[in-house]
Structure 1
């Protein structure tokens, strides 16, 4: 269990300042970054995860406790990412998808089967991902992230493609899992319902004005 620190993180595109953020996310805490398209929400996640486009410039430290992440290549940061699309590999069955990010070992198959059973998908190990429903794909995508043993989770609008009937169910399921695993979690979204469902701190960003200044505000849990 570690705390994710974003120490004076600043992101620019040319001469334009996109965002400035200084915060810490405790184990099991979910912090939401909100704002319209174009304020740099997904760009922030890209910097934290280690695949920021050369079109952007960034400064500031990203740490898990005392371990600097911003100086490490992406594959050594041990961060889990969940996107709008499940991004399951079409050439692998469900078990193959879940095994992809796991270390090889004798107990790997047993862990996969136990994970599938925990979400009611124990009979789906050999299924083609294309045959899964939207909710089933979302569950498999998160299981794949958790089985890779990440030290923190980044959520990039992961519920936006789900229909209304599934959205609240999958959202609460995801939040429960990351809290159960005591993972510091940063979610970016433009949807207020997602932010309310988390019930934690909200960092709200708005587009810069003509001077290039970014306006933002941090809130506590909704209703606090």
Structure 2
């Protein structure tokens, strides 16, 4: 069994045409692999395919395996893959504690036990006392940290990052990136990062993949990248 996240010949088709050349890659536990490419190549579509949220208009190809387990046919909630987006996407009608509790696994039962896990997570992120805060009162950096905590509290076995550092100034970007990558390594999560920023890829330190748009396909399904 191969530990980590494995993509084998993964591609996405729209109206019969591949968006990008088939991708094969293994991301080891605790490693951050980076995917870069021009806008419209299908980077976010690739992440949706991996986590089981691919739009029905698209057709998936290839195999996605997590720790040797084929994820084909599994719904998003059964794949144990966390995802972070550029926007934190916190629920405005819930407190900070309510947002974090939403990410807790159902197996953790009991109001006190769940509340204790939330407090522990906030303390570890230097956000003590934020349980009752309204998400709309938080700074951009604080909202981003809450989104990371919520994702990690769901106990994922792999992590997808869809440009979560974009929109932050250079100093905040570096700090937030360090927080995320440190959590990835401590928890041994195979992680796939989509970014347009070369400094993100350098900080990730893992494999770098450039998605290649497909200009034409032959009758046998072979592909050709543009010159």
Q: Secondary structure at the match of 1:33?
A: strand
Q: Who is 1:130 aligned against?
A: 136
Distance 1:214 1:141 in 2: 37
The 5 Å alignment of 1:192-207 reads 192-207=198-213
Does residue 50 (structure 1) correspond to residue 52 (structure 2)? The answer is: yes
The 5 Å alignment of 1:100-139 reads 100-102=102-104, 103=106, 104-106=108-110, 107-139=113-145
Could you tell me whether the CA contact under 8 Å between 1:94 and 1:129 is conserved in 2? Answer: yes
Task: Give 1:214 shift.
Answer: 3.6
Q: Who is 1:208 aligned against?
A: 214
Could you tell me whether the CA contact under 8 Å between 2:103 and 2:154 is conserved in 1? Answer: yes
Residue in structure 2 matching 1:31, options 30, 33, 48? 33
* Aligned-pair Cα RMSD in Å: 1.6
Task: Give 1:210 shift.
Answer: 5.1
Residue in structure 1 matching 2:23, options 21, 34, 56? 21
After TM superposition, the score normalised by the length of structure 2 is 0.90
Q: Secondary structure at the match of 1:81?
A: strand
Distance 2:177 2:225 in 1: 29
Does residue 170 (structure 1) correspond to residue 172 (structure 2)? The answer is: no
Q: Who is 2:220 aligned against?
A: none
Uncovered stretches (5+) of structure 1, i.e. residues with no partner: 216-224
Q: Secondary structure at the match of 2:133?
A: coil
Moved more, 43-52 or 64-73: 64-73
Task: Give 1:132 shift.
Answer: 0.5
Distance 1:119 1:72 in 2: 32
Task: Give 1:56 shift.
Answer: 1.4
Q: Who is 2:6 aligned against?
A: 5
Q: Who is 1:222 aligned against?
A: none
Q: Who is 1:144 aligned against?
A: 150
Could you tell me whether the CA contact under 8 Å between 1:17 and 1:213 is conserved in 2? Answer: no
